[in-house]
Amino acid sequence: MLKGEQIIRQCHKRLHAALLLFTFSLLSLTPSTMYANSDTLPATKGLSRTAQLANKSLLNVGPTETFSGRLHILYGDAPSGSGLPPTSGYMLLDDHARAIELFFGEQAQGLLGSPMEINQQRVSVTGRAAILPIANGHTPVPLVTVQALQHEGLKPAANAVAAALAVSGSQPWATLLCRFKDSAEVTPHPVEWFKTLMLGTSAPGLEHYWRELSFNNVNLAGSAVYGWYTLPNPRSYYVSGSPEQLNHQKAATDCTAAANPDVLFPTFVGINLMFNGQLDGYAWGGSWTMTLDGVTKSFRMTWLPPWGYENQGPVGHEMGHGFGLPHSSGDYGQTYDSRWDVMSDIWDNCRVSRDPIYGCVGPHTISYHKDFLGWVPSAQKYTASPNTDQTITMDHIGQLASGTNYLMAQIPINGSTTQFYTVETRRLVGYDAKLPGEAIVIHRVDTARWDSDAQVVDPDRNGNPNDVGAMWVTSETFVDPTNGISVSVLSSTATSFVVRIMLGDARPPSPDLVMFNVVNPPATVAMGGSFLTGDSIYNSGTAAAGASTTRYRLSIDATITGGDILLTGTRSVPSLAAGISHSGSVTVTVPTSVPVGTYFLGACADDLGAIIESNETNNCLASKTTIQVQAVPARPDLVVSKLSFKITAVRRGARLTVTDTTKNAGSTAAGASTTRYRLSIDATITGGDILLTGTRSVPSLAAGISHSGSVTVTVPTSVPAGTYYLGACADDPAVVAEANEGNNCLVSNNPKQIIVRN
């Protein structure tokens, strides 16, 4: 373009921006029925105003009106440790360039169908306006309670919707850097910093990130960074109310207008709005209809505060919303509890994926989302048909499958296309290095959910979709007996799992008790000594299993058989319905006749053979570590026999009181010792767990004598927020030579865990 043409174009753009701002200022004054000077209406932080609508006297006060425009779903995501709940909302950008929030009551929720399919579609909405307060002179976004909604024209067919939602090829984003007028001197990072984040062709650059996630179906070629620009108004113009709420329309309008002379917006599919100060506590992602450079179109859109773009993960998360993705989660009503997806928990385990410049890096997204965006080749997607029994090899969803291997499997529930299971392989490589583990992961999908369409299948129901209960490995089977579905993991390689998928199995129903976890034993135990262990079993069959008994054995190898050394101590397991698991612990004793040596600990479900099962060969499982059986020395043996605390939630740097009892279970006196306390992410306390400040001195103890006491301990300020087990370890560090050095620690069982907050 010639320099003269550039000048003419810039003048045209400035005039267009001025007219656009003038138009918006006029439109914001109507309709008058939507606003009132009232300070009595409650407010909820974020976009959704459910709390406001609880005041029934303020509902449906305006006349019934019909609005036409494009519907957009916005997602608000708060930083880790903020205590803010996730929020989302439905915005209609009507044909008068006016933003209207839509509220769907329970009766109106069914109008949506699949929210992902209606996102960014043109609709007509009939409803009544609610009166909202004018806070500090700022008019809020209009809010309409929906009575009827319909697609304009015929509702698209499912295949047409899928084609429209697919994302492929070049996806150029314009990243706009905007400063609030009252903090124009604040520039968090230079433009080049953002260019590397957005355009970097190696990790963790988002160009590299989206190429890897999409199997090279998507790239950010043509993307550019512009700024910094100073907005015409202070932060309070864009973020107002109590609690604060971001006016997305104002922020988008002014930031794009400031950049308008430099940016030809129709050449971009998305716009990242990055601000130099905090917004309303959230980072936002979704889409927005705007008229820019004479073209009206729906842009993928994000609104990001500094904490959002200073970590790569949140940028990827919000851009994912821009691409049309919802959240995923576990089945526990929590939005950010799944570490398997960038569209859920991006903060946990950041120590593994933290970049020194761009902070916490996000993992891959799940197979359901990749398929939704059209990235999974049809030849690498297995869809189960009724009454089939198929064994397939599944490669890691983070890398394109080789040959005939699959990337995902989809198992319809009762023939439905909107409710189904997805099956995928996850490995600790690349962006997935921060995952909980390597396993087959199963999601149950319901596309009509308002958020978190895909939820992790976690049969132990312990509130954690990231533990062994949600990770399916060799010899484990998931069963949905109601719908005749089973997924069995037969074997694994360095890159794949071999999986058997059965849909509509015609065999007579029967139980199948599978041992899927054995607590690792202590490093050593004396002949005749005891130690605490535990296990988890799962009924992977298609019928209920009666009560059974679990027994424990020592084996010189990792294959547990009935001929291995039987330990004293059993665990009673109650009746288990199909698909239900049960965990527990027990103290076992090593026979005095066991030869000195190294052994695996094995646990065997239904070891007395009381249950007739469909598979009698998968009852036993060996521990991952071994135990050394030693000759009995004439020595003391210090153990923590009791441990308790009352506070179940503390902040980092806070103190709590712990009470414990140390007993000398040995045959000779023990000298004075010290008890120390640790936090562990699991129920096994080791020397590598987080050490608390504070110790308890234990005097010399004769054989069989106990000593109890309390101590105040302090949680280090460096401890990551999360849920932990609290453990006490006698003789820590080891100064007393004991007959058994592997039984010094005890984990608290009542309360079971403690929550550490920021």
- pLDDT tens for 567-592 read 999 999 999 999 999 999 999 999 98
- From residue 10, alpha-carbon distances to 6, 80, 179, 259, 264 in Å are 6, 42, 21, 11, 10
Cα distances (angstroms) measured from residue 276 to each of 252, 260, 309, 587: 14, 19, 10, 58
Q: What percent of the chain has pLDDT over 70?
A: 87
Can you tell me the mean pLDDT for 322-327? Answer: 94
Give 101 or 10, the one with higher predicted confidence: 101
The whole-number average pLDDT for the span 103-128 is 76
CATH topology of domain 166-360: Collagenase (Catalytic Domain) (3.40.390)
Over the stretch 465-490, which tens digit does the pLDDT of each residue have?
A: 999 999 999 989 999 988 989 999 99
d(CA 224, CA 338): 32
Q: What share of the chain is helix, strand, coil (3-state, %, to 5)?
A: 15, 40, 45
Q: What is the pLDDT of residue 107?
A: 62
For the ranges 132-141, 217-226, 740-749, the maximum mean pLDDT occurs at: 217-226
Q: Which SS3 state, helix, strand or coil, does residue 53 take?
A: helix
Quickly state the pLDDT bin for 140 (edges 50, 70, 90).
confident
Numbered ranges of CATH 2.40.50 in the chain: 32-162
Strand-strand pairing, 745-747 and 706-714: unpaired
Q: Are 668 and 739 in contact (CB under 8 A)?
A: no
pLDDT at 432: 96
Of the chain, the percentage scoring pLDDT greater than 90 comes to: 68
In terms of DSSP bridges, do strands 620-630 and 581-589 run parallel, antiparallel, or are they unpaired? Answer: unpaired
Q: Above 70 in pLDDT, residue 31? A: no
Mean pLDDT computed over 719-734: 95
Give the tokens for residue 749: 């069982």
- What pLDDT does residue 243 have? 82
| pLDDT of res. 16 | 38
pLDDT at 509 (0 to 100): 77
Residue range(s) of every CATH 2.60.40.10 domain in the chain: 513-630, 638-757
User: Between these two residues, 104 and 503, which has the higher pLDDT value?
Assistant: 503
What secondary structure letter does DSSP report for 29?
T
Confidence of residue 92 (pLDDT cuts 50, 70, 90): very high
Average pLDDT of the chain is 87
According to CATH, where is 3.40.390 located in the chain? Answer: 166-360
* Residues recorded for the chain: 758
CA–centroid distance for 290 within its chain:
32
Q: Say what the pLDDT of residue 8 is.
A: 35
Which DSSP helix (H) or strand (E) runs through 308? helix 306-309
Between 706 and 40, whose confidence is greater?
Answer: 706
Q: Does domain 513-630 have CATH number 2.60.40.10?
A: yes
Cα 218 to Cα 600: distance, rounded to the nearest angstrom: 48
DSSP string, 532-574: EEEEEEEE-SSS-B--EEEEEEEESSS---TTSEEPB--EEE-
- pTM (predicted TM-score): 0.64
The separation between CA 636 and the C-alpha centre of its own chain, rounded to angstroms, equals 47
Residues whose CB is less than 8 angstroms from the CB of residue 507 and which lie 6 or more positions away in sequence, other chains included: 542, 614
The pLDDT assigned to 78 comes to 92
Residue 119 is predicted with a pLDDT of 86
Q: Whole-angstrom Cα distance, residue 459 to residue 453? A: 18
pLDDT given at position 88? 84
Q: What is the mean pLDDT of residues 236-255?
A: 92
Please name the amino acid found at residue 209. Y
Helix (H) or strand (E) holding 384: none
Q: Between residues 296 and 750, which one has the greater pLDDT?
A: 296
Per-residue confidence at 113, pLDDT binned at 50, 70, 90? low
Q: What is the dihedral of CA 678, 683, 686, 688, to 10 degrees?
A: -70
Confidence of residue 505 (pLDDT cuts 50, 70, 90): low
Poorest-confidence range of 136-140, 260-264, 711-715?
Answer: 136-140
pLDDT exceeds cutoff 80 at 53: no
Is residue 540 predicted with pLDDT exceeding 50? yes
pLDDT higher at 685 or 509: 685
The pLDDT value recorded for residue 241 is 82
From the options 2.40.170, 1.20.140, 2.40.50, 2.40.40, give the CATH code of 32-162. Answer: 2.40.50
| The pLDDT of residue 189 is above 90 | yes
Find tokens 């003269």 and name the residue: 4
pLDDT on residue 36? 29
Q: State in Å, rounded, how far the first CA of the chain is from the last one.
A: 54
Write down the pLDDT at residue 61: 65
Checking 351-356 for CB contacts under 8 A at 24+ apart, the result is: 351/720, 352/433, 352/434, 353/313, 353/431, 353/433, 353/434, 355/203, 355/204, 355/312
pLDDT band at 164; cut points 50, 70, 90: low
User: Which of 339 and 631 is assigned the larger pLDDT?
Assistant: 339
In sequence order, which residues have a C-beta less than 8 Å from that of residue 10 and are 6 or more positions away?
Answer: 261
- Are 519 and 499 within 8 A, CB to CB? no
SS3 call for 197: helix
Give the model's confidence band at 460: pLDDT under 50 very low, under 70 low, under 90 confident, else very high.
confident
CA dihedral angle for residue 425, residue 428, residue 432, residue 438, rounded to 10 degrees: 40
pLDDT at 161 over 50: no
CB of 605 closer than 8 Å to CB of 548: yes
Reply yes or no on whether the pLDDT at 194 is more than 90.
yes
Give residue 109's pLDDT band: very low, low, confident or very high (50, 70, 90): low
Q: Which fold has domain 638-757?
A: Immunoglobulin-like (2.60.40)
Q: Is beta strand 381-383 parallel, antiparallel or unpaired with respect to 408-412?
A: parallel
Judge whether residue 162 has pLDDT over 60: no
